[in-house]
C-alpha cells in the first residue's frame, strides 16, 4: 500500500478523530484524539491490509501546554510505517489508554513514559515507575522539572518496593521464596536487578528492575549541541559505540539533507562491522562465563584486542570511539588500516573453528542451551525483540536489509536467520553474524574510494524544524533515534529506542518454568547491555 | 629394596620408649603426627592453589602470578598472610554456633581422610584394616559442613548452594562407593597398604582391565563431583550464586573452605592413584627386570605424588575446559548413567574374579 | 606535617622514613606486604569502564600476575573494590552497602571519570558526582574509559600505599604520636 492509500484508509476508519500531521518529515503521520487511540490501534494491528504488528518506538514528549505520546508502528509483512501522535488534554493528571494489550512490548515503554512524564496509562497491568525509585519526586523529562532529590544512602527494605510486594502478594510473604539477582551480580552483565520467585530450583516469575545506571542521557541531550550528543551516545551501548554514534549523525544528516562523501560512508560501514565483530566476540566471552566456561573469556578477548588496536590506531580510542561526526568521520584512516584489517580477518577465520570446537560442540553446552527459553516468532515481533535475538526466532528484522544506510545496499550479504528461537539458536546466530560481518568487511576493504572523509558542516548545527526518525542496526538490534527539533542548536526532544529495552521486556516471559541456571543462560543469550536499557 | 618408612617410625618409637613411659610416648607420637600432618596439609594446600593458578593460566594463554617472588612462588604466602589478618565478619542473623563450626567440619573431614592416605611404605598416620571403608565414611562428612554453613549463613544464595551441594554429594557418593567396592572386591582387602602391596606386580588399572578401567573413569567423574570441582561446581556456581554456600564467610573461615576444596581434589586424586595406579608402587612391567630395577630407584613418595598430581592436573583440565552442568543434568548423569554402570561394573568384576580372567 | 599534606605515596613514604623506626614494625611490614600482594578485587562495574576491567583481566595485561587473581563476587571475601562506571542515585545505597559488607582491611579504587566526579554525566539529575560522597577512596584513576594499563598502574599505586602503611595496631600508635 502506498502511504497515501494507508492514510486514506485510516482517515476513513475514524473520521473526525484523526488528522494528517504535516509536520513530520520521515514517515506518514497522524494526529489522533486520545479517546480514539485504542480503537484505532486495534484496527491498525488487526486489519489484514495494515497489519502493524511491530511497535518500533513509543515515546513521550512534553509539548509545553500538554503532554504527548508518539507511536512508531511498522508492519513486518508490508514493510510500511505509520506514526501516531496523541496528546493528553492537560498536564496535571494526564491519562491515556494503554496499548500493551495489543503489543506486549508496549508495557515497558509505557512505564518509561510514566516514569519520565507522569502520564498514566489506564488499564496498564503494572503501572509503576521503571527507572527512578518509587520515592523520586517529579518527572525528569518534563520541561518544567525542577524537583531536587537528595541522595539517599539507606537501603530500602525488600517490601518497601511496590513491585516486590506485588510479587509476594500471590501466596503471602512467607511462602514465596524471593531472591534478588543483582544489581551487583556477576552475571547480569551490568547492573540489572532481577527479582525472581522460586519454586525449588525452578523460576516462577521474574521481575526486572532497571534504573541502576539511568543517567538521564535523553534529558542531558536537550542542553547539548549535536556534536556533543554524539559523545554521549557512546556510553549507552558501549559495545557498539560506533554504531550508536552513527544513529545520531545519520539522523542529523537526514534532517539537514547533507550528502556524506562516499569515502566516509565506506569507512563508517567497515567500522560498523568491526564493532559488530568486537561486540559478538564479547558476547561469546560473557556467555561462556555465564555457563561456567571461564576459559572462553581469554580466547575471544585476545582476538577482540586486535580490533581495539585497529580502532586505537584509527581514532585514538579503544572502546568509546566518537569517531563519527555529523557529515562524515573525524579523521582520515591510518595508512595501516587496510593491512591490519585484512590481517585480522585472516586471524579471525582461523580462530572461529577453534571457538566452535571449544564451546559450540560441547555436549554439556548443547544440553544447557538447546530448547531453553524459546521465543516464538510472534512473540519476538510483539515484544519488539530485534537484532540477533529476533533473527534467531525467524524474524527478518535486519535494518541493514530493511532500511539500508551507508553502503549496505551495495554489499552482497545474507541476513543470518535461524528459526528455533532457543538459547542455542541465539548463540549460533551471533556466530553466524561474525562470519557475515567478516564477509562484508572483506568486500569493502579494498574498495574504499578516495576523496573527502567528511562533508563541510557549519560549526554550530541547527536542525530545521521537524521530527526525524532514524534506525540503525547495532550489535543488539534496532536502535531508533527520534529527534524533534524546533530549529534550535539543541534538540527539543531526543529519544533513543534502545534494542535492549524491548529485549528485556521479553525476559520474564522466557524464563518461566526453567531453572535458575537457565535464567542465567537465557539472559546471557539475549545479550543486553544495561546502560543501553537505562540510558 | 623400597625404602620402608616404618623402620624410621619404629626406631623413633624405640627411642621415645627408652626415655618415657608408654602413655606419654603415645601422646608425644600423636602430637608429632598431628604437627607433621598439619604442616603437610598446609604446604600441600599452597602448592595446589599455586598449581591451579599456573595451570589455569596455561590453559588460558596468560602468565599467571609472576610478580611476587620468582615465578610468583611467594604469591601464596602473601595470600595466606592476607587471609590470616583479615577481619572475621559475622553477619547479623546467622546461627552463630553452626556458622562458626561449619568451616572446621569441612577442613576436619579433609584432614581425616588425609590421615589415612598411604604416602609411601610405612608412611601413613593410621593404617586401618578397613581403610577404604573409613575413607568412604569421613569423606562424606564434608557435606555436613557445607549444609551447615549454607544454612547458618542466613542468606538465600547460600541455602540454594548448600542444597545443591547436598543433593550432589549424596548422589555421587553412591558411585564413589560402588567403585570402591569394585576395587576392594578385586584386591580382596580393605586395608589401603594391602591394596598398594597387591599392585606390586602390576597396577590394578592394568590387572583388572575392562572393569577396572570403567571403575577408574567413573571414579574420576564422581570424585570430581564430590569435591565440588568444575564442571560440577554447582554449589558455588560463581555466575549464578555469587560464591555459593560460602558467600558470607570471610578471612580465615573462608580460607578453610577454599583450602578444603583443593585438598578434597587432592584426596580424590590420591585415592584414585592408590586404588588404580598402584599408589606409591613403582611402575613394574612383568619380567623386565632391568626396567623394574630402574623404576625402583625412584623413591616411592615421588611415585605417589607424581601420580596424584597427574590426576589433579587432569581434574584441572576438566574444570578449565567444560561449562558447568545444570542441577538436573547433574543428577541425571549420576542416577541414569553412572550408578547403573557402576552396578553393572561390580557384577562384571565379580564374574571376572570368579573366572580368574584377570592378570 | 599537616594531614592535608598526605596527598600521594611520596608523602607517605617520606613519613615512613622519617622517624618511626620500631623493630616490631617488621611484622607489620610483612603483613602489609602480604596484603599488598594479594588484593582480591570485587568488581563494582556498572558501565563502560567495566569492559576495560575485563580487558585488563584478559591475557594481554593479565591482572593475575600481581596477585589480583581471584575475582570474588562476594564482598565478604574481597579486599579491594574497583568502582568502575557511573554511580547513580538509585545505585548509591547499594554501593555503600557492599562497601559496608566488605571485611577489613578494605580498599577502594575509583576508576574512570564517572566514579571520580560524575564524568560526562556530571550535570545529570540522577548521577552522583563522585563516589567519595559515599565511600572513602584510596586511589583515583582518571580516564574515560580507563585503559587497562592505567588500571594496572593505579592498582600498583595502591600496593605501594599499602606497603608503607601500618597493618598492625602497634604501628598506628606510633603514627599518632
Ligand atoms: S568514565 Fe567514561 S568510560 Fe568510564 S563509565 Fe564513565 S562514561 Fe563510561
Q: Is C50 in the pocket of ligand 1 (CB under 6 A)?
A: no
Contacts of C123 in chain A (CB under 8 A): 220, 223
CA A206 – CA B88 distance, rounded (Å) = 34
CA C101 – CA C76 distance, rounded (Å) = 6
Per the listing, cell 484496527 goes with A43
pLDDT above 70: percentage of residues in chain A: 93
DSSP assignment, residue A426? H
In a domain, A490, yes or no: yes
- Residue C176 has a pLDDT of 43
Shortest distance between the Cα of C7 and any Cα of chain A, in A, equals: 27
Dump pLDDT digits (tens) for C80-90.
888 888 888 88
In a domain, B131, yes or no: yes
The answer to whether A364 contacts B322, with C-beta atoms less than 8 Å apart, is yes
CA C55 – CA A304 distance, rounded (Å) = 9
Residue C26's pLDDT band (cuts 50, 70, 90): confident
Shortest distance between the Cα of A192 and any Cα of chain B, in A, equals: 14
Give the max Cα distance, chain A. 70
Residues A116 and A222 in one domain: no
Residue C140 has pLDDT above 80, yes or no: yes
By DSSP bridging, strand A95-97 and strand A120-122 are parallel
Q: What is the dihedral of CA A39, A43, A44, A45, to 10 degrees?
A: 100
CA C129 – CA B68 distance, rounded (Å) = 37
Residues A229 and A108 in one domain: no
Domain boundary among A497, A512, A528: A497
Residue A25: Cβ within 10 Å count: 15
- Residue C169 has a pLDDT of 59
In a domain, B100, yes or no: yes
Residue B284: Cβ within 10 Å count: 19
Q: Is B109 helix (H, G, I), strand (E, B) or coil?
A: helix
Residues A343 and A472 in one domain: yes
Residue A186 has pLDDT above 80, yes or no: no
Find all residues with CB under 8 Å of A54, minimum gap 6, and list them: A73, A74, A75, A76, A103, A381, A384
The answer to whether C88 contacts A151, with C-beta atoms less than 8 Å apart, is no
Per the DSSP assignment, residues forming a β-bridge with A104 are none
Best to test chain A binding among C44, C55, C89 (most A CBs inside 10 Å): C89
The answer to whether residues C83 and C107 touch, using CB atoms and an 8 Å cutoff, is: no
Residue A10 has pLDDT above 80, yes or no: no
Of residues A145 and C166, the one with the higher pLDDT is A145
CA A385 – CA A39 distance, rounded (Å) = 25
Between the CA of A235 and the centroid of ligand 1 the distance, in Å, is 7
CA A352 – CA A361 distance, rounded (Å) = 12
Contacts of C92 in chain A (CB under 8 A): 151-153
Residues A115 and A234 in one domain: no
In a domain, A19, yes or no: yes
By DSSP bridging, strand A177-181 and strand A493-497 are unpaired
Per the listing, cell 580368574 goes with B356
Residue A497 has pLDDT above 50, yes or no: yes
CA A502 – CA C62 distance, rounded (Å) = 36
Residue A173 has pLDDT above 60, yes or no: no
Range of the domain at B182: 87-355
Shortest distance between the Cα of C51 and any Cα of chain B, in A, equals: 17
By DSSP bridging, strand A493-497 and strand A477-485 are antiparallel
Dump pLDDT digits (tens) for A39-97.
788 877 777 777 788 888 888 888 877 888 888 888 887 778 888 888 887 777 888 88
Residues A244 and A386 in one domain: yes
Percent of residues in chain A assigned helix, strand, coil, to nearest 5? 45, 15, 40
In a domain, A210, yes or no: no
In a domain, A153, yes or no: no
Residue B49's pLDDT band (cuts 50, 70, 90): confident
- Residue C50 has a pLDDT of 84
Dump pLDDT digits (tens) for A335-376.
888 888 888 888 888 888 888 888 888 888 888 888 888 888
Mutual orientation of helices C48-57 and A295-315 as an angle, nearest 10°? 120
In a domain, A484, yes or no: yes
In a domain, B25, yes or no: no
In a domain, B122, yes or no: yes
In a domain, A102, yes or no: yes
Cell numbers linked to C103: 571485611
Give the C-alpha distances (Å, rounded to integers) separating A23 from A142, A466, A484, A486. 22, 6, 10, 11
Give alpha helix (H) positions in B188-278.
Answer: 192-197, 204-207, 209-226, 238-241, 251-276
Mean pLDDT of A260-270: 86
CA B211 – CA B190 distance, rounded (Å) = 18
Average pLDDT of chain A to the nearest whole number: 82
Domain count, chain B: 1
Cell numbers linked to A444: 569493502
Average pLDDT of chain B to the nearest whole number: 80
Contacts of C125 in chain A (CB under 8 A): 140, 145, 149, 216, 219
pTM: 0.86
CB of A302 within 8 Å of a chain C CB? The answer is yes
Range of the domain at A279: 217-497
Per the listing, cell 512524564 goes with A117
The answer to whether C90 contacts A133, with C-beta atoms less than 8 Å apart, is yes
In a domain, B242, yes or no: yes
3-state SS of A305-327?
HHHHHHHHHHHCCCCCCCCEECC
Give the C-alpha distances (Å, rounded to integers) separating A250 from A321, C8, C82. 16, 46, 37
Residue B275 has pLDDT above 70, yes or no: yes
> CA quadruple B248, B254, B259, B260: dihedral positive or negative?
negative
CA A113 – CA A57 distance, rounded (Å) = 11
Residues A118 and A226 in one domain: no
Q: A79: domain CATH number?
A: 3.30.460.80
In a domain, A515, yes or no: no
Give the C-alpha distances (Å, rounded to integers) separating C176 from C6, C14, C119. 14, 16, 36
Look at ligand 1, atom 6, and give the residue with the nearest C-alpha: C114
Residue A149 has pLDDT above 80, yes or no: no
- Residue C175 has a pLDDT of 44
Between the CA of A212 and the centroid of ligand 1 the distance, in Å, is 15
Residue B81 has pLDDT above 70, yes or no: yes
Between the CA of A107 and the centroid of ligand 1 the distance, in Å, is 30
CB of C55 within 8 Å of a chain A CB? The answer is yes
Residues A236 and A381 in one domain: yes
In a domain, B116, yes or no: yes
Residue A177 has pLDDT above 80, yes or no: no
Per the DSSP assignment, residues forming a β-bridge with A454 are A328
Residues A458 and A331 in one domain: yes
In a domain, A299, yes or no: yes
What is the DSSP annotation of C90-122? Answer: TTHHHHHHHHHHSPSS-EEEEEHHHHHH-GGGT
CA C150 – CA C103 distance, rounded (Å) = 26
Q: What are phi and psi of A164, to 5 degrees?
A: -70, -35
Domain count, chain A: 2
Mean pLDDT of B236-244: 68
- Residue B237 has a pLDDT of 63
Residue C160 has pLDDT above 80, yes or no: yes
Q: Is C114 in the pocket of ligand 1 (CB under 6 A)?
A: yes
By DSSP bridging, strand A18-20 and strand C139-141 are unpaired
Per the DSSP assignment, residues forming a β-bridge with A29 are A83
**Which of A 120-179 lie inside 8 A of C, CB atoms?**
131-133, 136, 140, 145, 149, 151-156
Q: A297: domain CATH number?
A: 1.10.645.10
The answer to whether residues A69 and A94 touch, using CB atoms and an 8 Å cutoff, is: no
- Residue C177 has a pLDDT of 38
The answer to whether residues A179 and A198 touch, using CB atoms and an 8 Å cutoff, is: yes
Residue C6 has pLDDT above 70, yes or no: no
CB of B51 within 8 Å of a chain C CB? The answer is no
- Residue A187 has a pLDDT of 64
- Residue A420 has a pLDDT of 83
Q: What is the dihedral of CA A234, A235, A241, A245, to 10 degrees?
A: -30
Find all residues with CB under 8 Å of B324, minimum gap 6, and list them: A291, A292, A293, A364, A517, B230, B231, B232, B233, B234, B237, B239
Residue A455: Cβ within 10 Å count: 16
Which among A201, A292, A297 has CB closest to B323?
A292
Residue A175's pLDDT band (cuts 50, 70, 90): low
In a domain, B260, yes or no: yes
- Residue C172 has a pLDDT of 44
Best to test chain A binding among C76, C78, C96, C125 (most A CBs inside 10 Å): C125
CB of A179 within 8 Å of a chain B CB? The answer is yes
3-state SS of C157-173?
HHHHHHHHCCCCHHHHH
Dump pLDDT digits (tens) for A225-252.
888 888 888 888 888 888 888 888 888 8
The answer to whether residues A369 and A421 touch, using CB atoms and an 8 Å cutoff, is: no
Q: Is A521 helix (H, G, I), strand (E, B) or coil?
A: helix
Per the listing, cell 522466557 goes with A510
Dump pLDDT digits (tens) for A188-217.
677 888 888 887 778 888 888 888 888 888
> What Rg do the C-alpha atoms of chain C give, in angstroms?
17
Task: Check whether the bond before A352 is cis (ω within 30° of 0).
Answer: no
Residue A24's pLDDT band (cuts 50, 70, 90): low
Residue C174 has pLDDT above 60, yes or no: no
Domain boundary among A71, A97, A122: A122
Burial level of B29, CB count in 10 A (0-12/13-18/19+)?
middle
Give the C-alpha distances (Å, rounded to integers) separating A497 from A109, A207, A211, A404, A532. 9, 21, 16, 18, 9
Q: Is C144 in the pocket of ligand 1 (CB under 6 A)?
A: yes
Per the DSSP assignment, residues forming a β-bridge with A469 are A482
Give the C-alpha distances (Å, rounded to integers) separating B71 from A50, A250, B63. 69, 53, 9
Mean pLDDT of B266-289: 78
Residue B97's pLDDT band (cuts 50, 70, 90): confident
Amino acid at each position: 500500500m502506498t502511504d497515501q492509500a494507508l492514510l486514506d484508509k485510516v482517515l476513513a476508519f475514524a473520521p473526525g478523530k484523526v488528522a494528517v500531521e504535516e509536520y513530520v518529515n520521515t514517515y506518514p503521520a497522524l494526529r489522533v484524539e486520545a479517546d480514539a487511540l485504542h480503537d484505532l490501534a486495534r484496527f491498525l494491528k488487526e486489519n489484514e491490509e495494515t497489519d502493524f504488528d511491530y511497535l518500533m518506538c513509543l515515546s513521550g514528549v512534553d509539548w509545553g501546554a500538554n503532554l504527548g505520546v508518539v507511536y512508531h508502528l511498522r508492519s513486518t509483512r508490508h514493510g510500511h510505517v505509520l506514526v501516531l501522535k496523541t496528546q493528553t488534554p492537560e498536564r496535571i493528571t494526564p491519562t491515556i489508554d494503554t496499548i500493551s494489550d495489543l503489543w506486549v512490548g508496549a508495557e515497558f515503554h509505557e512505564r518509561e513514559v510514566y516514569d519520565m512524564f507522569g502520564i498514566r496509562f489506564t488499564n496498564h497491568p503494572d503501572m509503576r515507575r521503571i527507572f527512578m525509585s518509587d520515592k523520586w519526586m517529579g518527572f525528569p523529562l518534563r520541561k518544567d522539572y525542577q524537583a531536587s532529590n537528595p541522595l539517599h544512602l539507606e537501603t530500602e527494605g525488600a517490601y518497601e518496593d511496590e513491585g516486590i510486594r506485588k510479587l509476594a502478594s500471590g501466596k503471602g510473604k512467607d511462602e514465596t521464596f524471593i531472591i534478588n539477582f543483582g544489581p551487583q551480580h556477576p552475571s547480569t552483565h551490568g547492573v540489572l536487578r532481577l527479582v525472581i520467585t522460586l519454586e525449588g530450583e525452578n523460576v516462577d516469575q521474574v521481575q526486572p528492575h532497571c534504573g541502576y545506571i539511568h543517567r538521564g542521557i535523553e534529558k542531558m541531550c536537550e542542553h547539548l549541541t549535536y556534536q556533543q550528543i554524539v559523545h554521549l551516545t557512546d556510553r549507552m551501548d558501549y559495545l557498539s559505540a560506533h554504531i550508536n554514534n552513527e544513529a545520531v549523525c545519520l539522523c542529523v544528516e537526514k534532517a539537514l539533507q547533507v550528502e556524506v562523501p562516499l569515502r566516509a560512508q565506506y569507512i563508517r560501514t567497515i567500522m560498523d562491522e568491526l564493532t559488530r565483530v568486537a561486540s559478538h566476540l564479547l558476547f561469546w566471552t560473557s556467555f561462556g562465563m555465564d555457563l561456567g566456561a571461564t576459559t572462553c573469556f581469554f580466547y575471544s578477548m585476545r582476538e577482540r584486542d586486535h580490533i581495539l588496536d585497529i580502532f586505537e590506531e584509527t581514532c585514538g580510542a579503544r572502546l568509546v570511539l566518537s569517531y563519527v561526526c555529523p557529515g562524515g568521520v573525524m579523521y582520515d584512516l591510518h595508512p595501516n588500516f587496510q593491512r591490519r584489517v585484512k590481517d585480522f580477518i585472516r586471524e579471525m577465520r582461523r580462530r572461529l573453528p577453534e571457538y566452535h570446537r571449544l564451546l559450540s560442540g560441547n555436549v554439556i553446552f548443547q544440553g544447557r542451551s538447546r530448547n531453553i527459553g524459546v521465543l516464538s516468532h510472534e512473540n519476538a515481533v510483539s515484544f519488539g525483540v530485534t537484532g540477533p535475538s529476533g533473527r534467531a526466532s525467524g524474524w527478518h528484522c535486519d535494518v541493514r536489509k530493511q532500511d539500508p544506510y551507508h553502503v549496505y545496499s551495495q554489499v552482497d550479504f545474507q541476513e543470518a536467520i535461524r528459526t528455533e528461537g532457543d538459547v542455542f539458536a541465539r548463540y549460533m546466530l551471533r556466530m553466524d553474524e561474525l562470519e557475515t560481518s567478516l564477509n562484508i568487511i572483506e568486500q569493502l576493504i579494498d574498495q574504499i574510494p578516495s576523496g573527502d572523509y567528511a562533508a563541510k558542516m557549519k560549526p554550530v548545527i541547527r536542525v530545521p524544524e521537524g521530527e526525524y526518525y532514524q534506525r540503525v542496526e547495532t550489535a543488539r538490534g534496532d536502535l531508533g533515534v527520534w529527534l524533534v527539533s524546533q530549529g534550535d542548536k539543541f534538540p527539543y526532544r531526543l529519544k533513543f529506542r534502545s534494542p535492549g529495552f524491548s529485549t528485556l521486556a521479553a525476559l520474564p516471559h522466557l524464563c518461566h518454568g526453567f531453572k535458575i541456571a537457565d535464567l542465567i543462560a537465557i539472559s546471557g543469550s539475549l545479550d543486553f547491555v544495561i546502560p543501553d536499557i537505562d540510558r | 629394596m623400597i625404602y620402608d618408612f616404618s623402620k624410621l617410625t619404629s626406631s623413633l618409637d624405640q627411642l621415645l620408649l627408652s626415655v618415657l613411659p608408654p602413655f606419654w610416648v603415645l601422646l608425644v607420637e600423636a602430637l608429632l603426627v598431628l604437627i607433621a600432618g598439619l604442616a603437610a596439609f598446609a604446604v600441600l594446600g599452597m602448592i595446589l592453589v599455586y598449581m591451579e593458578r599456573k595451570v589455569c593460566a596455561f590453559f588460558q594463554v596468560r602468565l599467571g602470578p609472576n610478580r611476587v617472588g620468582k615465578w610468583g612462588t611467594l604469591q601464596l604466602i602473601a595470600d595466606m598472610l592476607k587471609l590470616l589478618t583479615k577481619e572475621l565478619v559475622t553477619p547479623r542473623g546467622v546461627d552463630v554456633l553452626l556458622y562458626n563450626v561449619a568451616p572446621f567440619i569441612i577442613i576436619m573431614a579433609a584432614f581425616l581422610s588425609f590421615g589415612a592416605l598411604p604416602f609411601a611404605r610405612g608412611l601413613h598416620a593410621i593404617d586401618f584394616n578397613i581403610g577404604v571403608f573409613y575413607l568412604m565414611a569421613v569423606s562424606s562428612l564434608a557435606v555436613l559442613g557445607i549444609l551447615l554453613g549454607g544454612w547458618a549463613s542466613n542468606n538465600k544464595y547460600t541455602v540454594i548452594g548448600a542444597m545443591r551441594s547436598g543433593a550432589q554429594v549424596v548422589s555421587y557418593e553412591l558411585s564413589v562407593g560402588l567403585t570402591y567396592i569394585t576395587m576392594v572386591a578385586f584386591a580382596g582387602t580393605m586395608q589401603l597398604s594391602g591394596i598398594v602391596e597387591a599392585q606390586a606386580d602390576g597396577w590394578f588399572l592394568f590387572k583388572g582391565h575392562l572393569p577396572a578401567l570403567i571403575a577408574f573413569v567413573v571414579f574420576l567423574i564422581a570424585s570430581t563431583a564430590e569435591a565440588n570441582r568444575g564442571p560440577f561446581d554447582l554449589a558455588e556456581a560463581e555466575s549464578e550464586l555469587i560464591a555459593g554456600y560460602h558467600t558470607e564467610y570471610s578471612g580465615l573461615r573462608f580460607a578453610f573452605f577454599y583450602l578444603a576444596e583443593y585438598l578434597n581434589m587432592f584426596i580424590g586424586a590420591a585415592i584414585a592413584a592408590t586404588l588404580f595406579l598402584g599408589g606409591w608402587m613403582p611402575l613394574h612391567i612383568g619380567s623386565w627386570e632391568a626396567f623394574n630395577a630402574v623404576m625402583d630407584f625412584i623413591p616411592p613418595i615421588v611415585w605417589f605424588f607424581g601420580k596424584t598430581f597427574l590426576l589433579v592436573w587432569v581434574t584441572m583440565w576438566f574444570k578449565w575446559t567444560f561449562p558447568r552442568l545444570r542441577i538436573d543434568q547433574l543428577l541425571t548423569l549420576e542416577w541414569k548413567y553412572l550408578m547403573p554402570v557402576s552396578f553393572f561394573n561390580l557384577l562384571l568384576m565379580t564374574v571376572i574374579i570368579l573366572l580368574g580372567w584377570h592378570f | 606535617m599537616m594531614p592535608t599534606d598526605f596527598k600521594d605515596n611520596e608523602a607517605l613514604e617520606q613519613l615512613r622514613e622519617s622517624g618511626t623506626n620500631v623493630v616490631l614494625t617488621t611484622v607489620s611490614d610483612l603483613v602489609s606486604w602480604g596484603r599488598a600482594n594479594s588484593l582480591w578485587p570485587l568488581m563494582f562495574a556498572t558501565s563502560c569502564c567495566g569492559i576495560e576491567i575485563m580487558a585488563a583481566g584478559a591475557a594481554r595485561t593479565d591482572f593475575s600476575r600481581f596477585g589480583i587473581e581471584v575475582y570474588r563476587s562476594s564482598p565478604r571475601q574481597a579486599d579491594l573494590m574497583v568502582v568502575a562506571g557511573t554511580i547513580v542515585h538509585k545505585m548509591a545505597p547499594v554501593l555503600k552497602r557492599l562497601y559496608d559488607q566488605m571485611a577489613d582491611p578494605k580498599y577502594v579504587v575509583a576508576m574512570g571519570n564517572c566514579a571520580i566526579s560524575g564524568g560526562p554525566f556530571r550535570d545529570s539529575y540522577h548521577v552522583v558526582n563522585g563516589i567519595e560522597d559515599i565511600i572513602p577512596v584510596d586511589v583515583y584513576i582518571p580516564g574515560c574509559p580507563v585503559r587497562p594499563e592505567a588500571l594496572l598502574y593505579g592498582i600498583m599505586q595502591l600496593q605501594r600505599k599499602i606497603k608503607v602503611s601500618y597493618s598492625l595496631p602497634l604501628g598506628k600508635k606510633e603514627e599518632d604520636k
